A and B are shown apart, each in its own frame.
Chain A
């Protein structure tokens, strides 16, 4: 077995950080002490939702116990403190993805709402019949369906960039789809089903050369790697808090300031207006224009704490640890007879999808659960991708910063039991 700490790694600033001590890190996550059916929990479903460190849980509780009130509306002290904490969280998220301005950080419920927001505002205003958008075969339903709704309304054309059988995004084929009618490219940064990291820089450059804007679905990227809005030069970037060790009900839509400024509101209500009369209302500047109603105040504060937590651990240290897990898991699992890893892209995040000969993914999931191991089995909200691969379902082990080499061993051992039962 491999050592379960990854070696000294460089942190984001390029300084050497102390080696990533996963067993120390696990202490930060109270739920990891749980036992499932008498066995220690082996949580390999972080791509569906990640567990929360105490720093996040505490930040939320403390906020509610000490500074809680509605934001942006009171003259009283608590409201001011709550507003400060909420806006401080926005600044933390700005720094976390290196956006140029905190005004480019829109708090939304999650990636799903972020993408719907772009479709409903930017899409409705700037796309018309015959305009083209390009998605990829890797997409989660949440980056497909909003565009189909827009298609039904506007008559836009949806093109789909292909992948190869290993799950690699095919850049040349994508470039051929670009046309003078292409208005928007909406693709995932990391595939939730296969782990593929897409060549986002090249995608963005090519799209921009063709005069198209780019939206990246960063849901599965932000937990695993540092992302930099300014370096990427991406136009929109959406992600969910709960997959990066933050709370549910909160996420971020990043949008370039000059683009956001041209976009109409998403929903109408309080918080987003400057003046309201029955004749006409005027709207605030971004980001508040897009945040109608009382926001998820406590959740935003929790998400800020999650960003701090990841930054303090060192994004590069986390990445190196997870890459070591990925390499070890790929090696152990591919050595099992009858098991086939689905998704062998050149660059991957720590997600391993697999199928076993003669055993349905659902049955794998049930048997692993009895061993205390949580994996996801199914189509991973990516039915077109499953169809492309000719599969009905896969089992998926997705790793987080708290997973260990022992977790990988537990998975491999339990998969042997699956084999025995289905022998």
Chain B
């Protein structure tokens, strides 16, 4: 029992959950979307500052939620800063697979493998299917912000 739980609640996750990075709002004209998980009431706002060439110059978030959703949002902001939005969207897909597919192989995902490696700490949610939504909420919200959507829910 404890092994699986320790796998889910790794030190990195607890650390990011406790002290999330880039936990702030970005002033206009940043892109923004609001995400929520109606089942548990978690809410998240993701902000992106995108340069003329499509580079994510800054990314931040604010919100309330469980350790998994906070850590995932925090790690996401660290991962995405400086990347192209097209790459961010590819990473969205890769991250989703990482959270759900037992046999997921980072090398075949077509995105920066090292970055994905850092997100590997969240793969523990695979053993906790109801918690996948917590891990992916920030990513869904980020995608909605890029696409210009205002709100997203994970149900």
* Residues of chain B within 8 A of A379, CB atoms compared: 40-41
Smallest CB-CB separation from A377: which chain B residue?
A: B40
Interface string of B48-81 (1 = CB under 8 A from A): 0000000000000000111110000000000000
State in angstroms the CA–CA spacing of A358 and B15 once bound together: 11
Say yes or no: B66 contacts A360, CB within 8 Å.
yes
Residues of A near B131 (CB, < 8 A) are: 362, 366
A386 touches B41 (CB 8 A): yes
Whether A126 sits at the interface, judged by CB under 8 Å, is no
In the assembled complex, the CB of B148 is this many whole angstroms from the nearest CB of chain A, namely 28
Q: For chain A residues 342-395, which have a beta carbon within 8 Å of chain B?
A: 358-363, 366-367, 370-371, 377-379, 383, 386, 392-393
Pairwise interchain contact B9-A370, C-beta atoms closer than 8 A: no
Is A279 an interface position by the 8 A CB rule? Answer: no
CB distance from B134 to the nearest CB of A (A): 7
Contact A363-B66, Cβ < 8 Å, known A386-B41, A393-B41: yes
Residues B5 and A370 in contact, CB atoms below 8 Å apart: yes
Measured CB to CB, the nearest residue on chain B to A378 is B40
Q: For residues 12 through 64 of chain B, which have their beta carbon under 8 Å from a beta carbon of chain A?
A: 14, 18, 39-43, 64
| Closest beta carbon of chain B to A411's beta carbon, Å | 15
B39 touches A363 (CB 8 A): no
Residue A421 CB within 8 A of the other chain: yes
Interface centre among A360, A371, A422 (most CB of B within 10 A): A360
**Least Cβ–Cβ distance between B27 and chain A, in angstroms:** 26
- Interface residue tally of chain A, by bracket? 20 to 34
Question: A170 interface residue, CB < 8 Å from B?
Answer: no
Report the Cα distance A362→B67, complex, angstroms: 8
Cβ of A24 within 8 Å of any chain B Cβ, yes or no, is: no
A360 contacts which of B2, B4, B67, B130 (Cβ < 8 Å)?
B67
Q: When A and B form their complex, what is the total count of cross-chain residue pairs whose Cβ atoms lie within 8 Å? A: 54
| Interface residues as binary, B100-130 with A (CB distance below 8 Å gives 1, 0 otherwise) | 0000000000000000000000000000101
Q: Which residues of B contact A39 (CB under 8 A)?
A: 1
Contact status A378-B41, CB under 8 Å = yes
A-side contacts of B142, CB under 8 Å: none
Q: Which residues of A contact B2 (CB under 8 A)?
A: 417
Q: Which residues of B contact A362 (CB under 8 A)?
A: 40, 42, 65-66, 68, 131, 134
Q: Which residues of A contact B9 (CB under 8 A)?
A: 363, 421-422
Provide the bound-state CA to CA distance between A379 and B40, in Å.
6
B145 at the interface (CB under 8 A from A): no
Whole-angstrom distance between the alpha carbons of A370 and B131 in the complex?
13
CB-CB contacts of A17-53 with B at 8 A, as 1s and 0s? Answer: 0000000000000000000010100000000000000
In the complex, A361 Cα to B65 Cα: how many Å? 9
Residues of the B chain whose Cβ atoms lie less than 8 Å from the Cβ of A417: 2, 5
Give A273 to B63 CA distance when docked, in angstroms: 53
CA gap between A205 and B48 in the complex, in Å: 57
Task: Give B15 Cβ to nearest chain A Cβ, in Å.
Answer: 11
Q: A39 CA to B1 CA in the complex, in Å? A: 10
Q: Which of B39, B65, B67 contacts A359 (CB 8 A)?
A: B67
- Give the residues in chain B near A37, CB-CB below 8 Å: 1
A359, B18: Cα distance in complex, Å: 9
Decide if B8 is an interface residue (CB 8 Å cutoff): yes
CB neighbours (8 Å) of B18 from chain A are 358
Given contacts A360-B65, A363-B67, A366-B131, contact A383 B41 (CB under 8 A): yes
> Which residues of A are found within 8 Å of B128, using beta-carbon distances?
366
Question: Which residues of A have CB within 8 Å of B42?
Answer: 362, 392
Report chain A residues within 8 Å CB of B1: 37, 39, 370-371
Contacts of A361 in B (CB 8 A): 40, 66
A367–chain B nearest beta-carbon distance, Å: 6
A359 / chain B contacts, CB cutoff of 8 Å? 67
Q: Which residues of A line the B interface, CB within 8 A?
A: 37, 39, 358-363, 366-367, 370-371, 377-379, 383, 386, 392-393, 417, 421-422
29 example contacts (A-B, Cβ-Cβ < 8 A) are as follows: A39-B1, A360-B65, A360-B67, A361-B40, A362-B42, A362-B65, A362-B66, A362-B68, A362-B131, A363-B66, A363-B68, A366-B8, A366-B128, A366-B131, A370-B1, A370-B5, A377-B40, A378-B39, A378-B40, A383-B41, A392-B41, A392-B43, A392-B64, A392-B65, A393-B40, A417-B5, A421-B5, A421-B14, A422-B67
Contacts beyond the supplied A361-B66, A378-B41: 12 A-B pairs with Cβ under 8 Å: A358-B18, A360-B66, A363-B67, A363-B68, A366-B130, A367-B5, A370-B1, A379-B41, A392-B43, A393-B40, A393-B41, A421-B5
